[in-house]
Each structure stands twice: as structure tokens, then as C-alpha cells.
Chain A
Amino acid sequence: MSKRTVEFELATPGLDAQGRPARIPLGVAAGSAVAAASAEPELGGDHLLLNIGPQHPATHGVLRLVVELDGEVVVRCIPHVGYLHSGFEKLGEYRHYNQIIPLTDRTDYLSPMSNNVGLALAVEKLLGLEITERCKVLRVIACEMSRIISHLVWMGTTGIDIGAFTPFLWMFYERERIYNLQEAWTGARLTTSLTRVGGMMADVPDGFVEALRTFCKNFPKTLAEVDRVLTRNGIWCARTQGIGALTAEEAINYSLSGPMLRASGVPYDVRKDRPYLDYETYDFEVPVGEHGDVYDRYLVRFEELVQATRILEQALDRLPDGPLNVDDPKVILPPKSAAMTDMEAMIFHFKQVMEGVQAPVGEAYFPIENGKGELGYYFVSDGTAKPVRWRIRPPSFINLAALPKMAEGGLIADLIAINASVDIVMGEVDR
């Protein structure tokens, strides 16, 4: 059994006659065959154990991959997750429904607003609440803004992983514009906590609609530039086409969702197949790939950015006036001004804050189409204000489970591209 540790003499042996540093010959020099053989033990056939992460920029967070390598070929890839485990599901069992909303900001922290929307929708399904028209349209806007920033981060960081730096800057520039809007609306860039059960935390501020329209007008220009730089770029195509390909059957078998599933040719989009928030009334296309490789995942996400902009424009056009929150003091807090002057409002305010929203006995699963895939919230209620069980159906956790299947048999450099193409966010994988 040969020993794996290889020790080389790394110090420069000195200067040659011309004063240049002498080089260690790469080949076996004539007459020194014995010395070379003793310096380089036979490695042929031996597999190497390589640890990637948890602190490594290409793993997009604290993912750790233990890889068995035969030369450059990945023989086995063993992902280790859980470094960011925060026990959100356990915490949720000790909180009122509205108090769970801040926890959802921190799961998929690259698209917090759509997590908030998903959670509110799940609780409203449990309560049997019908939300107002204005609230529905605002939530669509929140979801599509989140999809855009989620895909922008993906495209930028994947570009960096594969070696394209410029799109990263363009993407983060555009993302910053959305973040400014998000900050104007919610007061936060990351921990938005935008929704409440039965409504929203706040209506959009003055000038928001115009600013979002300006974004929708300018954003396609940036996309066109990225398209010009990446889509037919020889290096980009060589690094992505045919890499990590999954067939439609495999993708379904692995329960993949979102762009990962659609890139393999399965036209499943929760917005179309299990519509919520009146998505069936919006005019948009669901892009579907055919090869299921990294390149098709890029194309699908790229087209989803275009479609998300279309949905945003339609939502802005139809944004109705009218009440934002449901008219039910058992669910929605009365305005603070009323709580200070009106006895009844004060009682409702007190009961809301101290006891929380009471859900009937029952259970509900509500999926939404997040940027990463199908994000589902599953609640089981025993009639109290705190859920018996709060389950997050995490799209990036389930998508990541297919990583060994995609990476094994490929090159180590492709493993990085494949891992990037999954679009994971560790806050959600580990929860």
C-alpha cells in the first residue's frame, strides 16, 4: 500500500551559470532516473480525497463537498450540509403565525419577499381567508421582484465561478436598484418581513410605482448586454453545454423543481399548474429547456428574468385602489391611532399581540414558485395560535440532493459549474 502524502523539495536549488534560478526538470532527466523515481511515488490508480468547503467561495455558502478523485475525474461526491442549521421549523412551533414571518426572511435570504408571501398564503389557506385585490397584485409584484434578484445573484455568481467577471458587476448593479425599491417599501434590504396574515405590513410608498416602471424599462437593456456577452460566448458554452445533464425522468425522480426541472424539459411551474394570486390571469411564458444541462438552466433563468419583467409591468398596470388588508379585526391589527383612542380597537390590539391569530384545527400545504423552485409551507394546527408543525419544503435542499448524480463521472472543474447551476442558498438548505 503506497502512502498518499507526497513531499517535494520546493526550494529553488540555486542559480545556474547565467544567474537565472535553476529549474527542477519536469521530465526524468537522463542519468537521474533513480532520484526521480524516489521523489515521485507511483500514484496511478490511487484515488484522492479532496475536501471542498465549508468555507469556499465556489460552494455558495457553507456547503461542504467531500470528493473522491481519480486524477481529475470525480468518482464520488458526498455533500455535507447543516452548517447553517438554525432550527427554524422548531422555532416556528413556539411562535404565533405572524411571528413566523421574520423567520422566513432568513431561510432563502436571496429572495425574502416571496418567502413572506408564501408563508402568508399558507396561513391564509389554513384560516380560509380571502385577501383583497390590491394585496394580491402587490404580492405578485413582491414575488417577481424577488425572482429577479434571486436570478440576478445566481447569474452573477455562476459567471464568477465559470470565469466571467463582468456580468457579476452588471447583475449586482441591477440588483441594487431592486434593493433600493425593496428598502423604500419595507425599510429593509434583507429582512423584509413584508406580509402579514391577511394583508401586508405596508403599502407601497409614493413614487414606488414610477420607480419600478423605470426599472422595468431599463432592465431589458442590461439583460441584452449579458445576453451578448454570455449566451454565444465560446468559453461560457464550452464550460456549460452538456455538463451535468439530467433527463426529464431523472429530474422528476429527484423531485427537482423550478428552473432545474424545467431545464430538463418538464413544463411544471407552480404559477401555471397550481395557480395562486391570480397568476393564471397574467400573460407570461414558462421557458423549458431540452438538454437539462448547465447551459439550459442558464437559458431558462435568463428567460424567466424577461418574463418576470413582463409580469411586473402587467401588475403595475392593473394595480387597483382599495383596501390593502382584510377587514377582520381578529386577524389584522387595528391602526395604532385607533388602538389608542377606541376601546374596542384596543382590546383587539391587545388580544392580537398577546394571543395571536387563532387557526382552526386542520392542516394546509401551500406551494409557491420561488426563484429556486417550488417553495412549500405546510402547517398543522391544533386550534391554538401556534402551529403544531411548520414545515418548509425547501427547493434548494431537494435540488442539491441531485448534485452527486450530476457531478459523478465528470471533471472536478465541472463540479463547480454544476454546483453553481443548482442555485442553492444555504440558509434554506440547512434551515
Chain B
Amino acid sequence: MNPSVDALRRVFGPRIGRALVSCGDTIVYVDAGRVAEALRWLKETPGQQYNYLVDVTAVEYRDPERPLEVVYELFSLDRRAALRVKAELSKDRLEIDSLVPLWAGANWLEREVYDMFGITFRGHPDLRRILMWETYAEGHPLRKDFPLRGRFSRAEQVRQALGANPEAHYSMDELSIAETYHELPEDMRERLARGERGVIPEPGRERGRE
């Protein structure tokens, strides 16, 4: 077991949950509300120096009772030590503090987790979908309740793809650069004004479901 776990326990006490070793990797669970603080401590404390954020991702288990986990893979370039920090989030409250103030590299990684799992990162400067398009309305693909072929029927997916305006792929922010918003067609303006990401429908209520 990585000695950083005991050091974390001394500083954060009961905020540090269980710790285990799996396949030689040390995993430590941290209270979701304190995870940014704990990671800052791990990054900046001499003797810990986990200065390299390898990866941010999330895991949803097949057991629907288990909470979602946000996974932070840390590495210390100076000490050559690795540590995996996890935070559990209950499915009715998928929110956690953003790490962008600590590591700029967390920006896109957290956007991807938001896109794929629907976890909101508080304090993230630019939390938009990244791999899926901004008006994608079928939900978050890596969630276990998301079917492999998507929520909508194939016919509905084709209909939406054919109906999409290929010129409409600018965000309001980008259009403000050229101040061309008022020159756009009426329906495109209406769509942009409704919100960049469109409206994510409630499960079971979306159109075109078979």
C-alpha cells in the first residue's frame, strides 16, 4: 500500500474512506466534497508531490445500487510514485469540484467525463460536451442505462442527422466574434437561442422511441 494513504488519513481524518490495493495499484477513496482539497494537498505537499495528473475518468458499475466513481490517476514525476484517488457520487447528485484551477490538463478530461457520464464539475470554466455535438439529445453514452445503439430509434437518428443544418456548428460565443448572429436563418437563430446543448429529454419521454 502506498504510504501516501496514511499521510492523507493523518491530515484529512474521516474524510478519507477505504483504501485498497488492486493489481498492485493503490486506490484511496476520498469524500467527494473534499476531493479537490485532498488533491491539492497531494500535489503541493513536499514528500507527496503528485504533480502529474495522468487521467480523469469515471466508472459506473453494472450494479445499479453502486454509486458512480470519479477516478483520478496521479503520478509523481519526482518520486515516480502512482496513486489512484476515487470519489463516489450518488446518482441523484452528480456534482464534484473541478480540478482546472489545479491542473489545466483537467479541462478537456473533465469535459469528456461530463459528456460521457453527465457529471457536473463545479467551477469548470467551459463545461461543454466535447466528443458528442452540442445539441446531442440522447443523454450520456457511457452510462449503463444508455443502450449500445443510442436512445433514439435508428429512424429518428437518421431523421435528425438529415435535418441538421451543417452550417449551424458555431456556438453563440464564436458567432459573437464575427457578429453574424443576426444574419443567420430564423430557425437556426431560434435553435441557438434555446441553448447550445439543446434539451436532454427525460428517459421514456423522448420522441421516436420504439
A, B bound: yes
Binding site for B on A (CB under 8 A): 1, 4, 47-49, 51, 64, 66, 68, 76, 78, 80-82, 85, 87, 89-91, 94, 125-126, 128, 250, 252-256, 266, 268, 273-274, 362-365, 367, 374, 376, 378, 380, 382, 388-389, 391, 393, 397-398, 400-402, 405, 430-431
Are B23 and A378 touching (Cβ within 8 A)?
no
Are A389 and B131 touching (Cβ within 8 A)?
no
Contact of B130 among A81, A250, A256 (CB under 8 A): A81
A254 to B57, CA, bound (A): 16
Q: Which B residues, 67 to 82, have Cβ-Cβ distances below 8 Å to chain A?
A: 71, 73, 77, 80, 82
A91 vs chain B, min Cβ distance (A): 8
Binding site for A on B (CB under 8 A): 22-25, 27, 51-55, 57, 59-63, 71, 73, 77, 80, 82, 84, 103-109, 112, 116, 129-133, 141-142, 146, 148, 169-170, 173-175, 177-180
A-B contact count (CB 8 A): 130
A365-B84 contact in complex given A1-B179, A85-B131, A393-B55, C-beta closer than 8 Å = yes
Are B73 and A398 touching (Cβ within 8 A)?
no
Are B55 and A273 touching (Cβ within 8 A)?
no
Are B80 and A66 touching (Cβ within 8 A)?
no
Are B174 and A78 touching (Cβ within 8 A)?
yes
Contact of B108 among A126, A274, A401 (CB under 8 A): A401
A382-B130 contact in complex given A363-B22, A398-B105, C-beta closer than 8 Å = no
Contact of A266 among B61, B77, B109, B173 (CB under 8 A): B77
29 A–B pairs (Cβ distance < 8 Å), ordered by A: A47-B177, A47-B178, A48-B177, A49-B170, A78-B173, A81-B130, A82-B131, A90-B141, A90-B148, A250-B104, A252-B77, A253-B103, A255-B109, A273-B77, A273-B80, A274-B80, A363-B25, A364-B24, A367-B54, A374-B54, A376-B54, A376-B73, A380-B59, A388-B60, A391-B55, A393-B54, A393-B73, A402-B105, A431-B131
Are B62 and A388 touching (Cβ within 8 A)?
yes
A4-B132 contact in complex given A365-B25, A398-B105, C-beta closer than 8 Å = no
B65 vs chain A, min Cβ distance (A): 13
Are A85 and B132 touching (Cβ within 8 A)?
yes
